[in-house]
Chain A
Amino acid sequence: MSFNRRDFLKLTGLGAVSAVAARAAAAFPFFGGAPGAVKAETNAKTAKRWAMVVDLTKCKENCTDCIDACHTTHNVPDFGDDKRHEVKWIWKEPYKQSFPDQENEFLKDDLSERRVLVFCNHCQNPPCTRVCPTRATWKRPEDGIVMMDWHRCIGCRYCMAACPYGSRSFNWLDPRPHIKTITPDYPTRTRGVVEKCNFCDSRLAQGQMPACVEACKDRALIFGDLEAPDSPVRQILRERFSIRRKPELGTQPQVYYVV
């Protein structure tokens, strides 16, 4: 067996590289993480599949209590009449635009002329999460909430193109100067990030109902677990006729409208 100059150089080179790599790995523990254990909050509200029922027979058209509560809780900016920069979590849309698949030419006046409360449908088959290249948005397997990780959003807006309901908004500008009163407990967003309704996941984790549901004096918003037969949402869906937005697309919205 011969050990020539070439082998010697290879071995010393390899040795030097691995020594440097070991030092570098020790100096920069990128995958360090925290030493302690983590767990969920004990008083959190949980469900197998969260869903909302909007009772349009109770929802007052000119009332904005739920919208105001949501926007205050989540630091949603207000750009006034500037539709190019509008950020929407929960808003009102004319009936015919909310339900373009309802093809009846003539309808009850109070329906066809009214505006309907709309927000993220937290679809069972969400097209937005499928297209996200960074997994900044995903459907929580535990309770079906379509979540967003604003830390990870790169602002490509694929999800906005994929959402058939226009439920997602992009921050074209720094939102902070356009927030009337900042709620310090909740983060604002930054320029270049997409945002939407998240069914108040952080309020649910603290055992509270969503801000819009709590704010509605007319009890027109009913929130609960679709998988629990006795839940308030299942009860009202058993008793009343309901429709959903664009069901023909197969997205399976988890927001039902009692008309």
Chain B
Amino acid sequence: MHDGGKIMGGLAVFFALLLFPVWNNLAQGKADYRPNPQILPKGNCVESREYMLSSHMDLLNTWRDQVVRQDKRIYVSTLDGKEHLMSLSKTCLGCHTNKAEFCDQCHTYMNVAPYCWDCHVDPQANK
């Protein structure tokens, strides 16, 4: 047990390096960072805020399949019965015009990379 000091010291250095991202963020005051998507319009979205927050990906999957595979292009909201064109670049980005400050905020924070934009065009980025 003569090397106890070295072992403990080595372990301390090891964990300090291992946990560098954690204490570095704490030290820089970034630990309580929250994504802040810019929801520009004041009115209603196609469904309730809670539904869109939790399940917009399910909605978009349904829209995709209905438009491409069933040739159905109109969505009737359960919120107010309004009809919306099922289109990512026209309807969604028509209101939430800034993809970088809307979609990307949470997606980057959550480290999800939906491949919508490999093909669908962000009209803003195109200008």
Contact = CB atoms under 8 A, between A and B. Distances in A.
A32 B58 contact: yes
A39 B76 CA distance: 8
Contacts of A190: 115, 118-119
Contact of B72 (A39, A147, A150): A39
A36 B75 contact: yes
Contact of B76 (A36, A41, A75, A182): A36
Interface in A188-246: 188-190, 201, 205
Contacts of B121: 75, 182-188
B71 A36 contact: no
A201 B71 contact: yes
Name, among B64, B78, B119, the residue most crowded by chain A CB atoms within 10 Å (CB to CB).
Answer: B119
Interface string B72-111: 1111111000000010011000000000000000000000
A185 to B, nearest CB: 7
B71 A142 contact: yes
B99 to A, nearest CB: 12
A140 B64 contact: no
Contacts of A185: 89-90, 121
Contacts of A11: none
Nearest to A140: B71
Interface residues of A, number: 30
A20 interface: no
Contacts of A188: 119, 121
A189 B77 CA distance: 30
Contact of A187 (B51, B69, B71, B120): B120
A150 B70 CA distance: 14
Contact of A41 (B62, B74, B119): B74
A39 B74 contact: yes
B55 A32 contact: yes
Contact of A184 (B68, B77, B89): B89
Contact of A40 (B69, B74, B119): B74
Given A29-B58, A34-B62, A182-B121, A151 B68 contact: yes
Contact of A35 (B47, B70, B86): B47
Interface string A143-186: 00001011100000000000000000000000000000011111
Nearest first, the 7 A-B pairs at minimum CB distance are A32-B58, A34-B62, A184-B123, A187-B119, A190-B118, A38-B72, A184-B121
